[in-house]
């Protein structure tokens, strides 16, 4: 018989894996046309890796179990729960979160948190990429094939900077990230709740190690739509552990323990988590630690009921967020048809019971709550790799509003919170000053009205030919693609020519920067960014100085002498500083000049308006108004 392959056989589908990059653990799953399953490594063990990285003094790096074992011995050089730092600035982290990291957190140039390890610092993206690289390695050993493409999941609450940081981590690990999908969407896919006949509302309650998310999804005719999401990126099983550690320290402190000993704290943390997990199946347990200085063994008896009492406020907080999501979606708990549990902390019987009572129905617990997200990511990965679930359409919503800074520091929102994505919005702006040659477009995210209360995402500069105030027509387009990634473009219509736009994200990294990191020359990238910023600042300074001086000439006696003097002084100061190298000082002087020159801009604007009004018919004005 011939050994030739069947010419009618389907071409080999492309291998795309699903990755759950978790706060506590990370998993890889694969469907390959069949039912999704967690990938096994070369030794036949499931690829389920603790999300831990330890940087040894001698330069070696441990990832996963080995790093976790190292944690009590080298707490300051071992990173756990790195996901909480992804795409964040130091100011985004409360003191409670910062205290969780024994390693020193620092902030550089562009407000991204970095972790200090002796004489070097690393970014959360780099740490996450080490986890992804290890996942990739183990999966390849088990599958006997190269893994190059992946779908990675993120909490529904992740903002653009955090999604971009996740994407960057994937690239640094040598993975092509085909899609970033929300964890609740993945969990629903794993339960097969998106079938063609399926119809109804699903609540996905996800309580992991570090985050809580509640998502309400509507399933209809093979499509998923996120109705509302609510969550807290700083709430999870780690907090339960912390409560246990604190109460244990209190109880054991009476026996002469040094509560500030980092080795003891790390040991206690592990013992508290283990005790908590035992209490999910046992009614009582004993927490055991060894005092590192005296070598004395200490024991503390714990009952399930005590744990439940201690964690009740935490569970209440999750239920309050469930109520908020329902209110946002304009529905009652009784409208929910299915409840899906995700995350290791939903193994706790008390959590299951309270969630079941809240929604008035028993939650789905058939799949392992730790695996369900990775399994769902594998379903999506299989579709992207050419599987036959192609009819499945995933629709998500953007969790926060997105807008532009307008004159005076206010926010103009283009895409509102909970808008369905992909989404596109366009708006036209003009300039309040004459002869502007560079327009600063500041993209912000948040629900507040003032830029200072929102999160800065990116700054663009649009260069235009000089025109009188009010004449330029700048059309700005916001586009959120299926991955939840935001792209902003701007075009000045009147001049016809598409001006060149540079994007310098404040959070997240550009592709070129990621490449540089891969070559381990990140320090240069930072210097480049600083140099670039200096050039931009100098350009901006000279155009602002030019405009201010010309306006001073035009204003005549409409400007009070004291105001004129303040503007002249601010201009001189800016001129002197912009020859120097101190970007922050130039920026401050620019801001100061812009601020004192505001009445001047108004005077010139009023004059220009008065000019424009003269000789026009009143109805024309009304139509324009």
From 187-195, 272-280, 451-459, 547-555, span contacting ligand AMP (CB under 6 A): 272-280
The yes or no reply on residue 280 touching ligand AMP (CB under 6 A) is yes
- The residue behind tokens 């001073």 is 552
d(CA 185, CA 375): 11
Q: Which of 208, 363, 385, 403 binds ligand AMP (CB under 6 A)?
A: 208
d(CA 208, CA 23): 8
* In the complex, minimum distance from the CB of residue 144 to ligand AMP, in angstroms, rounded to a whole number: 27
Residues forming the active site: 20, 83, 183, 206
C-beta closer to ligand AMP: residue 240 or 469 = 240
d(CA 98, CA 234): 11
Crossing angle (nearest 10°) for helices 237-253 and 262-278: 120
* In the complex, minimum distance from the CB of residue 66 to ligand AMP, in angstroms, rounded to a whole number: 18
Q: Which two tokens stand for residue 31?
A: 């469907």
C-beta closer to ligand AMP: residue 282 or 327 = 282
CB 50, CB 135: distance < 8 Å = no
What is residue 324's three-state secondary structure? helix
d(CA 159, CA 39): 29
C-beta closer to ligand AMP: residue 345 or 437 = 345
Q: 142: part of which helix (H) or strand (E)?
A: helix 124-143
The yes or no reply on residue 18 touching ligand AMP (CB under 6 A) is no
Largest CA distance in the chain: 103
d(CA 11, CA 482): 27
From 174-182, 274-282, 466-474, 487-495, span contacting ligand AMP (CB under 6 A): 274-282
Binding mask of the shown chain, residues 227 to 256, with x at each position contacting ligand AMP by CB under 6 A: ----------xx------------------
The yes or no reply on residue 22 touching ligand AMP (CB under 6 A) is yes
C-beta atoms surrounding 382 within 10 Å: 26
β-pair partners for 475: 428, 491
Binding mask of the shown chain, residues 324 to 363, with x at each position contacting ligand AMP by CB under 6 A: -------------------xxx-xx---------------
From 21-29, 37-45, 459-467, 589-597, span contacting ligand AMP (CB under 6 A): 21-29
The yes or no reply on residue 273 touching ligand AMP (CB under 6 A) is yes
Whole-Å CA distances, 561 to 567, 589, 592, 597? 10, 21, 18, 13
d(CA 99, CA 95): 6
The yes or no reply on residue 167 touching ligand AMP (CB under 6 A) is no
C-beta closer to ligand AMP: residue 247 or 280 = 280
DSSP class per residue in 225-268: EEEEEEEETT-SHHHHHHHHHHHHHHHHHTTT--TT-HHHHHHH
C-beta closer to ligand AMP: residue 83 or 533 = 83
The yes or no reply on residue 209 touching ligand AMP (CB under 6 A) is yes
The yes or no reply on residue 41 touching ligand AMP (CB under 6 A) is no
Residues between 77 and 136 that touch ligand AMP (CB under 6 A): none
* Residues at the interface with ligand AMP (CB under 6 A): 22-25, 208-209, 237-238, 273, 276-277, 280, 343-345, 347-348, 370
């Amino acid at each position: 018989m011939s050994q030739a392959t069947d010419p009618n056989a389907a071409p080999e589908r492309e291998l795309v894996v699903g990755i759950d990059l978790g706060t506590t653990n990370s998993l890889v799953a694969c469907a390959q046309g069949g039912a999704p399953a967690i990938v096994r490594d070369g030794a036949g063990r499931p690829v389920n890796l603790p999300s831990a990285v330890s940087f040894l003094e001698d330069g070696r790096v441990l990832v996963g179990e080995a790093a976790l074992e190292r944690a009590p011995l080298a707490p300051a050089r071992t990173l756990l729960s790195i996901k909480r730092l992804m795409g964040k600035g130091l100011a985004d982290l409360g003191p409670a979160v910062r205290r969780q990291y024994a390693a020193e957190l620092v902030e550089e140039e562009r407000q991204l948190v970095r972790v200090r390890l002796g004489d070097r610092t690393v970014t959360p993206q780099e740490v996450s990429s080490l986890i992804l690289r290890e996942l990739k390695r183990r999966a390849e050993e088990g599958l006997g094939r190269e893994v190059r493409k992946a779908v990675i999941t993120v909490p529904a609450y992740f903002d653009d900077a955090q999604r971009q940081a996740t994407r960057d981590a994937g690239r640094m690990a040598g993975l092509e990230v085909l899609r970033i999908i929300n964890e609740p969407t993945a969990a629903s896919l794993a339960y097969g709740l998106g079938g063609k006949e399926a119809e109804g509302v699903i609540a996905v309650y996800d309580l992991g190690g570090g985050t809580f998310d509640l998502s309400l999804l509507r399933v209809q005719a093979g499509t998923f739509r996120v109705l509302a999401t609510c969550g807290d990126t700083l709430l999870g099983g780690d907090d339960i552990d912390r409560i246990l550690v604190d109460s244990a320290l209190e109880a054991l402190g009476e026996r002469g323990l040094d509560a500030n000993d980092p080795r003891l704290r790390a040991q206690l943390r592990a013992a508290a988590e283990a005790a908590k997990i035992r209490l999910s199946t046992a009614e009582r347990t004993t927490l055991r630690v060894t005092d590192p200085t005296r070598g004395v063994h200490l024991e503390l008896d714990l009952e399930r009921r005590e744990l439940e009492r201690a964690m009740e406020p935490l569970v209440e907080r999750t239920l309050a967020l469930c109520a908020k999501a329902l209110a946002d979606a304009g529905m009652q708990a009784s409208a929910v048809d299915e409840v899906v549990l995700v995350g290791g902390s939903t193994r706790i019987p008390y959590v299951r019971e309270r969630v079941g009572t809240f929604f008035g129905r028993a939650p789905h617990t058939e799949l392992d709550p730790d695996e369900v997200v990775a399994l769902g990511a594998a379903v999506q990965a299989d579709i992207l790799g050419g599987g036959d679930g192609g009819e499945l359409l995933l629709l998500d919503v953007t969790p926060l509003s997105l807008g532009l800074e307008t004159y005076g520091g206010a926010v103009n929102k283009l895409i509102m919170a909970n808008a369905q994505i992909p989404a596109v919005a366009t708006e036209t702006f003009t300039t309040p000053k004459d002869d502007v040659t560079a327009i600063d477009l500041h993209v912000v995210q948040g629900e507040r009205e003032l830029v200072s209360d929102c999160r800065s995402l990116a700054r663009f500069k649009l260069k235009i030919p000089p025109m009188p105030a009010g004449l330029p027509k700048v059309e700005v387009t916001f586009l959120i693609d299926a991955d939840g990634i935001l792209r902003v473009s701007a075009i000045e219509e009147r001049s016809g020519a598409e001006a060149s736009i540079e994007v310098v994200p404040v959070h997240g990294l550009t592709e070129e920067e990621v490449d540089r990191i891969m070559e381990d020359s990140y320090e240069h990238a930072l210097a480049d960014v600083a140099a670039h910023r200096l050039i931009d600042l100098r350009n901006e300074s000279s155009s602002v100085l030019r405009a201010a001086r010309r306006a001073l000439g035009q204003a005549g006696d409409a400007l009070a002498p004291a105001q004129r003097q303040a503007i002249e002084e601010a201009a001189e100061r800016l001129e002197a500083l912009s020859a120097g190298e101190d970007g922050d000082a130039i920026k401050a002087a620019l801001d100061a000049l812009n601020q004192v020159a505001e009445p001047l801009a108004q005077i010139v604007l009023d004059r220009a308006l008065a000019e424009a009004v003269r000789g026009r018919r009143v109805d024309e004005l009304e139509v324009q108004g």
